[in-house]
Structure 1
Amino acid sequence: MKKLYNNKLNHVTISPLDDYSDEMLRDVYMPPKILKMCKERKKFTKTKQQVNTYKEVFLTDCTVNPRIFLQGEAGSGKSTFLAKLALDWCEGFHSSSASDNSAHIFADLDALQCYEFVFHITLRNSVNLCDVYTMIKEQIIDSIYSPKDREKAYELVSEIMKHQRCLVLLDGLDEWTGPGDQHNLPTLVVNHNTCVMLITTRPWKLAEGKVKHSDIDALVQLEGIKEPLELSKIILSRLVDKEKLEIKYRAFTLYVKKQKLEELLSSPMMLSAIVCAYADGKELKGSKCEIYILLVESLFKKVNSNKCTFQQPPIALLTWTEHIQPNMENLNRLAEMAFHLLFVNERENAIVFSITELKKFKIDEIKDFALKSGILSAQRTASALRSTSSFMFIHLSMQEFLAAYHIARNANRIDGIISIYLNRHPKAYLDISQVFIFLCGLDISYAEKLSRMMHERNALHTKEFSNNENMCNGIVLAGYREANANGYSDIALKLSHFNCDNKNIIDLHKLWDNNAANAIVLNVNIDDRKPLENQRISPGNYECASQITFDLHSCLELRRLRLSGRCILGKGKYTIRFFCQMCFRYV
């Protein structure tokens, strides 16, 4: 099994634009920034306490947590963290690395050696399976042993899991669906109760409420990497001549600051795209949509080197591209399939799909193009009767971007599909948060419409400022910032729950003007010892403003107002003022 992991997990691509540019994971690994989540009565809240050791992940007050969840957004490094953990277990107490990037963080390898075996499972490859033991048989044992020897190995693994402490790593709960609605988590049989499960997921999967609090023994949040500029330098060192590295790196840090890309760099996937684009001479301006279009452009270039620019691009962001126009039909087919898989198909076929879906959208005609470009990947699926292939997009976020692109090009024809999808369950908007954010950068008019649909189905029916509404606040704010990064300044996204702090009050105040009448909650928590920050968007006129005013005259729906902190902020530069000549009820 250690040999399997060293073959399967030991390398990582440093460029999302080139699958062949891989390096030893240890040589380019950068420690993650992980924060503890505190379990309260109805929700989990993020703390400021950083998790820097494996022991802190597995133990709470010296007690082992049987089910641990590691949540993080797309591309934040969840899969890489699990791969590094598995490799650290393989190395034992004497782990060595060509670099000292992780010398002091997650260096307590003894915490891993108390587990006799570590089973690394990719959940997207086990859709419709619920039993963890069956996943281990199919993904690990069948990859190690020939059919003749497998039955003995199955029995041996079952005995091991009964009597010895094992660690099961389950990667990608948000990309997995069980058999039927009653299965919300992969499960271990009762006599495997000495095993510990560490499960990665995007936050929305836990926020939708199908995973009960009693199923979560510990929750930690991965915020990205600790030292993004240091990782940028490591990647640059693989892309430029050694004698030019320092000059190129200094120029890159100035570029990051000028274009306000610091927030994007916390995501390893975004960081690698930005660094590799910069090394190739392409400078970006902080738009996620622009980065994904760059990815599509680069992937298409690998298969078809023909160049042609757009005379009238379907979306403005395609104007600068050269390799997308000759492949527009392929792009449109892939985008249509991405959309229908996410919004129309059953959940079990949304992420990993068969040749049937390829034929339905005529992708089978361009299968070689899709696979050679890297937009799609494939794997063999063994069965008792025959061996078949299953397919998936290179990353779930790429599928979500293409789905948003399809919506932007066909906005008038898919209202019904989106509406039906949002009616599937009360918190369906969490599933499509990334699609919404991408849509804010591609088509602001439909993004505004989608924000109203999300609002109607969720926010208006909520009386308490819960964790879900806090997430909705963050989703709309991220969409607003993506729209700004793509040149949309007059935006009317709908929001009813405002949770303002030093880092977002400027942007949320801009959204307030269009939402005061439907505002339900206004929560302002300001630390006057810190300046108002806005990493992605220039404050504009707020640089010279003496006050930020929330006018409550038209707040007919306001049920909760909470103010914390002083009104004078940032050395007397900002004042928060509230005007109200009406009574409203507190709930």
Structure 2
Amino acid sequence: MMHLFHNLVGFGSFKVALAGLLKLEIILHLATYFEYPPAKISELRETPGEKGLVMATLMEERGQINSNDISPLLLALDKLKLFGIMSSTRNLFELHTGKKNPEPLPEPQSRGKTKLFLEYLKSTYTLWFNKIQPIPYIRDHVACVDDIYIETGMEVTKRSPSNEKDLNPDVGSRTKKLKSYRDVFSDNVISSNRVILHGDAGYGKSCFTLKAAHDWCTGNISSPLKDVGIFILLPLRLLGDLSSLFLAISLLLMPGESRLTEDDIIEVLNNSCSVVILLDGYDEYPDKDSGVGTDIIKLTAGTMFANFKVITCTRSSCIPQDLDPRTVFIRLTGFDDNAKDEYIHRAVVGEHNEEAADRIKRLLSSSHVISDICQVPLFCVMFAHIANKEKDLVKFTSVTTFFRYMLTCFYNHMWRKKDTASSKKRNESPADHTKLNKVVFYDLTGSTQQIVWDKHEFKNKIGSKCYDELIEIGILLEDEVMEVNNTPGVSVHEHIRRREIVRFYHKLFAEWYAANYLADCARSVFTMWLNKTFERVNPLDLQFVFRFACGLNTKASQRIIEYLRKIDDGQSFASLCFFEQMGSEEDIIDTAKQMCSDGMVIGCSDSRLLQRSNIQILDIASKGQIPVTYLQLKDSFHKIDGSNIILSSGLDLPCPLSVATISIIKASDDLENKRVRNEEPSFQNDQESEDVTVSQDTVTKLLQYGLKSRALKELTFEGHMLPLSFPPESIPDLQSKDIKISWKLLNFEFRLDLQSGNWKMDDIKTIRKTILPTVSLENFISRKRETATILLLANGTYHNMVIPCLHFLGSFDTIYDNNIKLQSGLVVACPASVRRVHLAATGNESSRCHEDRALTEEDVLAIFQYSLQSQTLAEIIFEDYLLPLKFDHDGIQEELKSRRIKVYWRLNHRQCFLELESGLWKHHDVHYVQSIRDTCSRTVKFTKNQKASLQYSNIQLLVIASNHDIQIHGLHLIHTFGTTDGITLSLRSGVAVPKVSVKSIRITKQYTDSSTADENEINEEQIEGLLQYGLQSEYFCKLSFQECLLPLTFRPLSEELQTKARAVRVSWCLCDRKFLLDSESGQWKVKKADMASLQDRCSRDIFIENTASVLRQRSTIQELVIASNNTIPIRRLCLRESFQDIDGEDIVLTTGLRLQILTSVETIEIRAEGREISDTVIGGILKYAIQSHNLKEMKFYHCLLPFSIPVPDIRESLRSKKVIVYWYPSYNLGHNYQLHLHSGHWLRAGLVEITDKQYDEEVTSLF
């Protein structure tokens, strides 16, 4: 790869030189600093060859180095303290490019640029979101987006709406509804950093972006954007010929007087830890199809600023290509009735004008057509404002009639204003739009779509009168933008210039005028030439051009519908155009015949308008007896109510009387497929990830629904979960008609046998291929696949096929009514011809279901009875289950024996068989005993991370060893000891270890920080139980504890246990200290050889600190107790922030440990860190202390003690022992008090009693 750069100079040669500096360790540090995705970091680590060049290229792509600036890289090296590399990099850049890079900016300067950048952004956004015009001609109604924004419906799906053909057909488009638009920005809901927010024209994408900008600028407390450092909103329609993101930000978002350069913007973005970039109108982006790798393309692909959240808004028909694979798609679904009502109150009539609101709502619901049209927020907004102004509204039959009326209102409003201004009425008509229609049509349908024009050029093309009229109405909007002039030879001053542009208020208006041109062509041009005109219009992007054209001209509609029916995926557009057309009843029926000949599809993502159009076509077909090949309900079936199907949109679908095939289809669940592939979905899951079986009652009603059709030949269910059988009496009418009921599940198709009510498959070859040689029911496969396997198994039995093996891999749950019930809830009957039944607890390694399973004797016997239903049974195998070590059920065992059925148990790759005579598990291998002897010569460990099956396997080995009188060197329980009753030893996993021939037992790391000291302590009863358990073995001689919490002392053991335990050594290792138990006295001791070192430690200061672990504190306490019991003087004991309370005769520490009375301590210090100690507690502490025979001093630091100590008997004891009690309210050792043991008052220096005022001052200083 290096040779590509040999002949380069300047920046290219710099990158080659830089690559030589970037060793792997530095590359990984930089990638982590720049927050590259984990996958990209792994790729860098594993890339063969020139890793440095790959890193240099990545940094260039992500804007961290470029030919003019490498300051982000220098800043990163500075932060990583790689000063040598930083200096070399700067020198190389200057050497190769001749340009100098400044030193990394100091933090205050960097922060100053960020502050200025944020001020500029907020100033620009404030101008944008404060001048919203809900309807073009109402110039006096300019609102803030916060006052008019209404929540619209949003659905999340993993599937791209424009790339469905490229996806696996098993991966569906299951959606998840968002509760609020704010969820788009919440990492708890959508974790992906790449989001596509799409919707059809007029669904409020741009309004959403302005509402987000408002939330960020105002710091809306309910919005996740309040925590975002930088928010970038770019209207992509203005980014033509701007390939640089940073230049676009500079030109569009920074004011003309901005002091920030592009380099400053790069620096600010690279140093920000939280950035959201919102790209508005990708469908209007001029360079989207240019093939140029602009920064916008890189952002959507995830190759630039991968750690930033990038949300791209676009029409559903114009999804970017080459997206980041983790991209999440959010679809805008429009206004429901609640949203319409809220908008009317908030933005049109006011909160309390119910009369006006009710009038508009009545008009909205006056026809299904207008109700469906106003699902589109733009249409709803315009209708509501027009209805509020206009007293008499015409009846709308289509979007075209609505749009035409809306434009009429615009013109009437303009003319009324002119009449009012001139005080005389004049008759006017709209300007000629012929030129406008043609210009807009060819610009919208060109190879590079144009929706923004130069003001003067556009005005000259369409005419001044037409232009001025549309500007006055508000349909056209003028604007001014900054643009880059790349003409060779231009001066620096002219490089960036201002340009006046014009655009439509909304792209829909442009489509209206283009449709007028198309309608004129379609009714007059010869058909052979017309198709070329049609082919210019992409229905995915410009569907309203076709729809409006159909509504404008009857002849045009017939030709357009015929054309759309013939193109790929044109059926849905044809249906919408059918809804728009105007013509005679005969023309409409002829068009309906053409559309029905290829069948009908109603999808869940179809708008209500499209669904209603299809229902209307079906109704015409039913009344006119027009044959319909098929009707598919794709994810749109919701329920059946009475005689109609209710779609997911809420529309009623009466039974179509002329449909030959009805298919009710449910796409496969994307979330379920991701679970199978061991992947996590990139948005937070809801409760829809499991398939729900359609009830028998619902299916029966659907069958009765289909029977109403006189033409129905087949009713098909695809992808749904249905009951595995039906009572034949529930479907009597079907038996008298020749109607096929089929169920397509995955790649299999079953037909309903109307006589038996069972699902049958006649394809013997497919059944044999699927169930032979082994039928596997696996817990990690989908429920649909389990269902299909059960049906195939039943059909194999029906066709008398011998089934070699029925394998349950982690799927067995229980025996129910002599059938096996799976963990999914499905039930499997025992095939009469199965030879082997194999139950495995875990399945294969890719499964997530690794939970171990313990089966009781009753469970195993029930499985025996289930398996014995097969007439050809030869073997039963249990794998990785925990089974009883012995069976005693003569009847079952005798039947198994008489039929010569073998029973095997495999556990951790060891296999044994059940000896049916004795009920014991045995091994075939004659060398197995010797292998057990070898294993038991070493310590057998039980750890907390071991699976229960492994623990059980080890126990099985220990039991067999004991039965062969093999000595077991030792048991080592590492964080696994549970309890013992002296007979068995129970582990924390619930597995029990019976009596075994063990020599030593060791318990390690029983303590966990998540519990209190009392919960973690192994008490006296448990220790005695461990001794009794071990003493069952004649070899037992050692019991040891390591890093455990044990009692400080024991009550003496019983005489019988003492006698047996004399030969047993009990030791306790704790924090590098070792203690031995004296079984007669119950005291812990140290070896005589260790006594001198204990005395040496006690001659120095001993601290018990709050920051020390519980085990460290217990070790220190145990040493203190041993020292006290052996009258070893303890020079000074300091409780540093560890004192909690006094309880009886013990001090309680903050960890819950207790410090018993120490009779040989000389000085006790308590450091309480600003705490107030009551007179009761201080009295208890002093009473505790005077039990020491050697006590000389008591000291209290940094705490508030009572004004006086009212315990004369304790003071007298202290005085008789000449003990001095000091109080240091702070750590200023020169500022202290001494307790006057006669009066109980505190004395200052010079033995002067403290006054009330002085005590109050101490209280104030502490608190």
Same fold by TM-score greater than 0.5: yes
Matched, 1:335 2:437: yes
**Aligned counterpart for 1:250 among listed residues 352, 358, 362:** 358
1:570 Cα deviation after fit = 12
Question: 1:55-66 to 2 correspondence within 5 Å?
Answer: 56-58=183-185, 64-66=191-193
| 1:56 shift after superposition | 3.8
Which one has a bigger Cα radius of gyration? 2
CA distance in 1, matches of 2:264, 2:625: 61
| Correspondence for 1:578 among 689, 708, 712 | 712
Structure 1 residues 551 and 54, CA gap change in structure 2 (3 angstroms): closer
| Residue 291 of structure 2 corresponds to residue 158 of structure 1 | no
- Asked whether the 8 Å contact 1:523–1:562 carries over to 2, the reply is yes
1:500 is displaced (CA, Å) by 3.3
User: Following TM superposition, by how much is the alpha carbon of 1:420 offset from its aligned partner in structure 2, in angstroms?
Assistant: 3.3
Alpha-carbon displacement from aligned partner over 1:501-552 (angstroms, at most 9, x marks no partner): 7955633425768998996x7524645524456999x99xx98xx7522147
What code does the residue aligned with 2:213 have?
A
Is the 1:568–1:574 contact (alpha carbons within 8 Å) kept by the matching residues of 2?
no
The Cα offsets for residues 377-435 of structure 1, whole Å up to 9 and x where unpaired, read as: 122233453533222122100111121122223432486776335556xx933122111
Q: Provide the residue aligned with 1:448 in structure 2.
A: 558
CA distance in 1, matches of 2:617, 2:482: 51
Q: Do the aligned residues in 2 keep the contact of 1:353 with 1:390 (CA within 8 Å)?
A: yes
Aligned to 2:452: 352
Which residue in 1 is equivalent to 2:148?
Answer: 28
- Residues 547, 576 of structure 2: 8 Å contact kept: yes
Tell me the equivalent position of 1:88.
Answer: 215
| Residue aligning to 2:399 | 288
1:275 aligns with 2:380: no
Query: Aligned in 2, Cα 1:250/1:113: closer, same or farther, shift over 3 Å?
Result: closer
Tell me how far apart the structure 1 counterparts of residues 141 and 572 of structure 2 sit (CA, whole Å). Answer: 34
Unaligned runs of 5+ in 1: 95-106, 309-322, 460-468, 553-560
**What is the correspondence of 1:383-394 to structure 2 with a 5 Å cutoff?**
383=483, 384=485, 385=494, 386-394=497-505
Q: What is the alpha-carbon distance in structure 1 between the residues aligned to residue 293 and residue 551 of structure 2?
A: 33
Q: Is the partner of 2:154 in helix, strand or coil?
A: strand
Compared CA separation, residues 512 and 218, structure 1 to 2 (3 A) = farther
**Distance of 1:364 and 1:518 partners within structure 2:** 52
User: In the alignment, is residue 38 of structure 1 matched against residue 158 of structure 2?
Assistant: yes
Quote how far apart the aligned CAs of 1:346 are.
4.1
1:19 and 2:139 matched = yes
Question: Alignment partner of 1:223: what SS?
Answer: strand
- What residue is the counterpart of 2:1143 in the other structure? none
Seen in structure 2, the aligned counterparts of structure 1 residues 568 and 481 have a Cα distance that, compared at 3 Å, is farther
2:580 to 475, 482, 491: 482
AA at the equivalent of 1:91: T
Task: Label 1:188 to 1:407 Cα distance change in 2 as closer, same or farther (>3 A).
Answer: closer
Does structure 1 residue 230 correspond to structure 2 residue 342?
yes
Q: Which has the higher contact order (CA 8 A, sep 6+)?
A: 1
Aligned pair in 2 of structure 1 residues 373, 515: CA closer, same or farther (>3 Å)? farther
Question: 2:315 maps to what in 1?
Answer: 202
Q: Is the 8 A contact 2:411 2:430 kept in 1?
A: no
Aligned to 1:119: 232
Partner Cα distance (1:396, 1:416) in 2: 30
Query: Conserved in 1, the CA contact under 8 Å of 2:480 and 2:501?
Result: yes
2:282 to 159, 167, 173: 173
Distance 1:66 1:31, change over 3 A: same
1:87-114 CA-partner distances (Å, limit 9, x unpaired): 11111144xxxxxxxxxxxx4x1x2134
Q: Secondary structure in 2 aligned to 1:380?
A: strand
Percent identical pairs in the alignment equals 15
- Given that 1:548 and 1:575 are in contact with CA atoms closer than 8 Å, whether structure 2 keeps it comes out as yes
Q: How far apart are 1:225 and its partner, in Å?
A: 3.0
Greater CA drift, 293-302 or 524-533: 524-533
CA distance in 2, matches of 1:252, 1:296: 19
Contact 1:263–1:535 (8 Å) recurs in 2: no
Separation in structure 2 between the aligned mates of residue 61 and residue 275 of structure 1, nearest angstrom: 36
Distance in 1 of aligned mates of 2:197 and 2:631: 30
**Helix, strand or coil for the counterpart of 1:137?**
helix
| Residue 486 to residue 397, structure 1, CA distance change in 2 (3 Å) | farther
| Deviation (angstroms), 1:215 | 5.8
Q: CA deviation at 1:299?
A: 3.2
Q: Find the residue that maps to 2:471 and give its secondary structure.
A: helix
SS in structure 1 of the partner of residue 708 of structure 2: strand
Q: Distance between the aligned counterparts of 2:203 and 2:506, measured in 1?
A: 12
Asked whether the equivalents of residues 638 and 647 of structure 2 are also in contact (C-alpha less than 8 Å), the reply is no
Q: Is the alpha carbon distance of 1:15 and 1:486 closer, same or farther for their aligned partners in structure 2, counting shifts above 3 Å?
A: farther
Q: Does 1:529 align with 2:662?
A: no
2:250 maps to 137
> 2:626 & 2:476 partners in 1: Cα distance?
44
Q: Distance between the aligned counterparts of 2:603 and 2:553, measured in 1?
A: 28
The Cα shift of 1:79 comes to 0.9
> Of 486, 492, 495, which residue of structure 1 is paired with 2:591?
492
* Partners of 2:599 and 2:628 within 8 A in 1: no
Q: 1:430 aligns to what SS in structure 2?
A: coil
Preserved contact between residue 551 and residue 578 of structure 1 (Cα < 8 Å): yes
Counterpart for residue 176 of structure 2: 49
How far apart, CA to CA, are the structure 2 residues paired with 1:582 and 1:213?
46
Q: Normalising to structure 2: TM-score of the pair?
A: 0.37
Give the secondary structure class of the aligned counterpart of 2:470: helix
What residue identity is the alignment partner of 2:540?
L
TM-score by length of 1: 0.75
Over residues 181-204 of structure 1, what are the superposed CA-to-partner deviations in whole Å (9 max), with x where a residue is unaligned? 324882357563332211111111
Greater shift, 167-176 or 510-519, is seen at 510-519
- Does the 8 Å contact 1:506/1:534 carry over to 2? no
Q: Say whether 1:10 aligns with 2:137.
A: no
- Structural mapping, 1:414-493, within 5 Å: 419-420=531-532, 423=535, 428-456=538-566, 458-459=567-568, 469=569, 472-483=570-581, 489-490=588-589, 492=591
Deviations 1:464-516 (A, max 9, x none): xxxxx3xx443233222333799985461655462137955633425768998
- Cα RMSD of the aligned pairs, angstroms, is 4.3
